[in-house]
Structure 1
Amino acid sequence: MKTMTCHQLGGPCDLEHHGENADDVIAAQDRHLKDAVKAGDTTHQQAREEMKGRWRHPKQSLGWYRDMKQTFADLPET
């Protein structure tokens, strides 16, 4: 299990996401951004829009995805 924060994934806060792989923490970040914006947290709006764009255009977002996978791989186990 490894941990990445909202900030490490492009968001504005330090909420920790835990997962067995990068896809787990990316999915957790997506849920976190959706929930934060739905609750009226405007500080997460830009990151939410960027995440939505990545889901809509995955080929264009491969660089970000590869970077997140590498960052996750470089993290120590928690």
Structure 2
Amino acid sequence: MSFVADEPIPLDTPIFINANTIIFRSGMSDIYILDLKKGIAGSITSSKMELSKPIFTNGILSYGVYDSDGETVNLDFYVVNIQ
């Protein structure tokens, strides 16, 4: 599995869901789920705003979405049940 970009994009917060599945953040605006056996990755976020690092506990994935126009700050939290 490879990603192509004009500039280096940091990949961080690898979270193993099970032996074949990993979730990670790409840059500051995408969270991906990757099937290691099949080599298939897909974005699980639809926002192009800044995202926090994801956290996975007891089958629950959570992350925050941050947006600011300079005067107003919007912060939303998402909770996803991963089974």
Same fold (TM over 0.5): no
Structure of higher RCO (CA pairs closer than 8 Å, 6+ residues apart): 1
Structure having the higher strand fraction is 2
Q: Choose between structure 1 and 2: higher helix proportion.
A: 1
**Range class of TM-score, shorter chain:** under 0.3
Greater C-alpha Rg: 2
